[in-house]
Amino acid sequence: MINSAEIELLKTAVERLAEGAADAPEFAPGFDVNRTRDVLDEVAARMQDNYPYFHPLYAGQMLKPPHPVARLAYALSLWVNPNNHALDGGRASSAMEKECIVDLGRVFGWDAPLGHLTGGGTMANLEALWVGGRLHAGKTVLASSQAHYTHGRISEVLGLPFRAVDVDEAGRMDIAALERELDKGDVGTVVATIGNTGMGAVDPLPGILELAGRHGARVHADAAYGGYFGLASALKASTAKAYACLGETDSIVVDPHKHGLQPYGCGCVLFRDPSVGRFYKHGSPYTYFSSADLHLGEISLECSRPGASAVALWATHQLLPPVSGGEFAAGLDRCLDAARDFHARLSAGGHFTPLFDPELDIVVYAPRASAASEISRLSREVFDAAADEHLHLALMALPTGLVAGRMPGIQQDAETVTCLRSVLMKPEHADWTGRIVELLDRAISR
């Protein structure tokens, strides 16, 4: 879990940081070392009550350990505690954030997007839908029925109508259903999910763009989970087509705290047209006075924002540039390989049926049984038994009809089926798929 070399690197970096204030009058903040030591000991003990998120046998929720350089840069910045709202609260970290936005824009083929980091994907999506609502006041937001639940909730917060669009047998937005919704003539924004959080399905973006363009609607790409996979070299051909046209969308959300190797919370919203920055315009005479340059608070709905997130992301980009063919992209390919190998092993075994061909690195699967209710019962039993073996999974409820398409002949005696779900988002998962299947087989045989 902890490499002691990190502690030594942080000590050296903190000493280097202190040199920047060497000319200031001598002052060292004081604190009670002994009491602080006692409290930290208690914190460490309390924090043991967690799942081993760092370990390859944790294949449950979307929790990827930060890269050591991100963790260390984040910690280092806390001695300054910059605020990336106004430049006088975080000069260096604001500059780093602006450089990160350029880096992330280039991932999607944009050289000069308007954008900034956020506390996570929810806030980033809120800003994108807020801008969409300003451009298409009162018009409906569409997202697939397998899109993240926050789109419906955000639309409600913004006072915008929302409708869910049916999905196809692979969990992607159904193009025919989308066309029927657009034909109603009241749609302002279509949300295309680029890697939904349930099964990793990528909506058919080329068709979405064509239909939305014909009906005068904006297209927002919620790529919070899957955005970085455009750098991978091992995408399926149909999936790669969606990534190839991401740059044609109006806005994109990506979460560096998912596949970008960052600590929580670090999301990002990007707009292709920088002129939408006019909607953010506001006055703040007591914060925006130190420079005529752009203060990031002038293009963000959030006010105070942690500069530490920008410092950590910038440091990661220096070590692992987010470019095709690089070390960072190779890690994404390893995740894709892990999911496909896991899918193949489950298919070849006798206990589980994988329900969808993985487009990214999420695999949803079900114990083989004759009825929906029996599948749900077995899934919960396997979930508990696997945890006893230190294998941590996730559960997911799906419409029974969607599951029956992959498990023909099952008795549909319930509206939903509880299935098992594994998120193989650590490159190291590629070396552990055999062990995971072995533990699954053991769990279902108990």
What pLDDT is recorded for position 289? 43
What pLDDT is recorded for position 192? 98
pLDDT digits 0-9 by tens, 266-290: 999 999 999 999 998 866 554 444 4
User: Are residues 370 and 300 both part of a single domain?
Assistant: no
**Phi, psi of 307, rounded to the nearest 5 degrees:** -65, -20
User: Are residues 367 and 266 both part of a single domain?
Assistant: no
By DSSP bridging, strand 394-399 and strand 416-423 are antiparallel
Asked if residue 336 belongs to a domain, the reply is yes
What pLDDT is recorded for position 307? 95
Q: CA–CA distance from 401 to each of 99, 204, 352, 369 (Å)? A: 47, 21, 18, 15
Asked if residue 19 belongs to a domain, the reply is no
Q: Give the residue from 283, 302, 319 where a domain finishes.
A: 319
Structural domain boundaries, residue 127: 87-319
**Phi, psi of 219, rounded to the nearest 5 degrees:** -120, 120
Asked if residue 69 belongs to a domain, the reply is no
Asked if residue 245 belongs to a domain, the reply is yes
What pLDDT is recorded for position 29? 86
What pLDDT is recorded for position 283? 60
- Crossing angle (nearest 10°) for helices 68-77 and 307-319: 140
For residue 15, pLDDT over 80 is answered with yes
Q: What is the mean pLDDT of residues 406-430?
A: 97
What pLDDT is recorded for position 334? 98
Contact call for residues 366 and 353 (beta carbons, < 8 A): yes
Q: What is the mean pLDDT of residues 403-411?
A: 94
What pLDDT is recorded for position 286? 43
Contacts of 300 (CB under 8 A, 6+ apart): 85, 116, 118, 127, 280
Please tell me the total count of domains within the chain: 2
Contact call for residues 133 and 188 (beta carbons, < 8 A): yes
Pairwise CA distance, residues 396 & 377, whole Å: 13
User: Are residues 94 and 230 both part of a single domain?
Assistant: yes
Q: Give the residue from 271, 303, 319 where a domain finishes.
A: 319
For residue 296, pLDDT over 90 is answered with no
**What b/e string do you get for 140-162 counting C-beta neighbours within 10 Å, with b at 16 or more?**
bbbbbbbbbebbeebbeeeebeb
For residue 86, pLDDT over 90 is answered with no
Residue 426 is part of a domain; what is its CATH number? Answer: 3.90.1150.10
What pLDDT is recorded for position 293? 63
**Phi, psi of 209, rounded to the nearest 5 degrees:** -60, -40
Asked if residue 243 belongs to a domain, the reply is yes
Residue 226 in tokens: 């899957």
What pLDDT is recorded for position 281? 81
pLDDT digits 0-9 by tens, 49-66: 999 999 999 999 999 999
pLDDT digits 0-9 by tens, 332-359: 999 999 999 999 999 999 999 999 999 9
User: Are residues 115 and 146 both part of a single domain?
Assistant: yes
Q: What is the mean pLDDT of residues 286-315?
A: 78
Q: Give the residue from 319, 336, 356 where a domain finishes.
A: 319
Asked if residue 28 belongs to a domain, the reply is no
The residue among 121, 194, 132, 119 whose CA lies nearest residue 158 is 132
User: Are residues 312 and 172 both part of a single domain?
Assistant: yes
Asked if residue 198 belongs to a domain, the reply is yes
Residue 311 is part of a domain; what is its CATH number? Answer: 3.40.640.10
For residue 88, pLDDT over 90 is answered with no
**Phi, psi of 375, rounded to the nearest 5 degrees:** -60, -45
User: Are residues 308 and 390 both part of a single domain?
Assistant: no
What pLDDT is recorded for position 284? 52
- The CA-CA-CA angle for residues 127, 110, 290, to 5°, reads 60
